[in-house]
Amino acid sequence: MTGSAPGTRAQPFFCPYCGEEDLRPEDPPATHYCPDCNRRFALRLIGIGPAWDDPSGG
Protein backbone atom coordinates (compact mmCIF):
# COMPACT_ATOMS: atom_id res chain seq x y z
CA MET A 1 0.00 0.00 0.00
CA THR A 2 2.03 2.86 -1.29
CA GLY A 3 1.46 6.26 0.24
CA SER A 4 -0.32 5.21 3.42
CA ALA A 5 0.96 4.42 6.87
CA PRO A 6 0.26 0.93 8.25
CA GLY A 7 -2.99 0.83 10.19
CA THR A 8 -4.47 4.02 8.76
CA ARG A 9 -7.85 3.70 7.11
CA ALA A 10 -10.06 6.01 5.11
CA GLN A 11 -13.05 7.26 7.06
CA PRO A 12 -16.57 6.77 5.69
CA PHE A 13 -18.32 9.95 4.57
CA PHE A 14 -21.84 8.74 5.40
CA CYS A 15 -23.71 6.07 7.35
CA PRO A 16 -24.21 2.92 5.22
CA TYR A 17 -27.67 2.41 6.79
CA CYS A 18 -29.37 5.82 6.69
CA GLY A 19 -27.01 8.05 4.66
CA GLU A 20 -26.46 10.60 7.45
CA GLU A 21 -23.10 12.40 7.29
CA ASP A 22 -22.77 13.09 11.05
CA LEU A 23 -20.60 10.11 12.06
CA ARG A 24 -18.70 9.98 15.32
CA PRO A 25 -15.77 7.79 16.40
CA GLU A 26 -16.64 4.81 18.58
CA ASP A 27 -14.61 2.37 20.68
CA PRO A 28 -14.08 -1.18 19.36
CA PRO A 29 -15.65 -3.49 18.34
CA ALA A 30 -17.53 -0.76 16.43
CA THR A 31 -15.50 2.04 14.91
CA HIS A 32 -18.23 4.52 13.97
CA TYR A 33 -21.48 5.74 15.51
CA CYS A 34 -24.41 7.35 13.70
CA PRO A 35 -26.55 9.36 16.14
CA ASP A 36 -29.29 9.77 13.52
CA CYS A 37 -30.18 6.05 13.27
CA ASN A 38 -28.47 5.11 16.58
CA ARG A 39 -26.27 2.44 14.97
CA ARG A 40 -22.69 1.49 15.70
CA PHE A 41 -20.75 -0.20 12.91
CA ALA A 42 -17.33 -1.18 11.61
CA LEU A 43 -16.30 -1.28 7.97
CA ARG A 44 -13.89 -3.89 6.64
CA LEU A 45 -12.45 -4.54 3.20
CA ILE A 46 -12.77 -8.22 2.30
CA GLY A 47 -10.71 -8.10 -0.89
CA ILE A 48 -10.39 -6.95 -4.47
CA GLY A 49 -10.63 -9.15 -7.54
CA PRO A 50 -12.22 -12.51 -8.29
CA ALA A 51 -13.40 -14.83 -5.55
CA TRP A 52 -10.81 -17.29 -4.24
CA ASP A 53 -12.85 -20.28 -5.41
CA ASP A 54 -13.35 -18.94 -8.97
CA PRO A 55 -11.14 -21.20 -11.16
CA SER A 56 -11.71 -19.05 -14.28
CA GLY A 57 -10.11 -16.04 -12.57
CA GLY A 58 -12.94 -13.70 -13.28
**Which of 41, 54, 48, 47 has the alpha carbon at shortest distance from 14?**
41
| C-alpha span between 24 and 41 (Å, rounded) | 11
Cis amide prior to 28 (ω within 30 degrees):
no
pLDDT at 8: 58
pLDDT at 32: 92
Q: Each residue's pLDDT tens digit in the chain (58 positions)?
A: 445 445 556 788 999 999 999 999 988 888 899 999 999 998 888 888 887 775 665 5
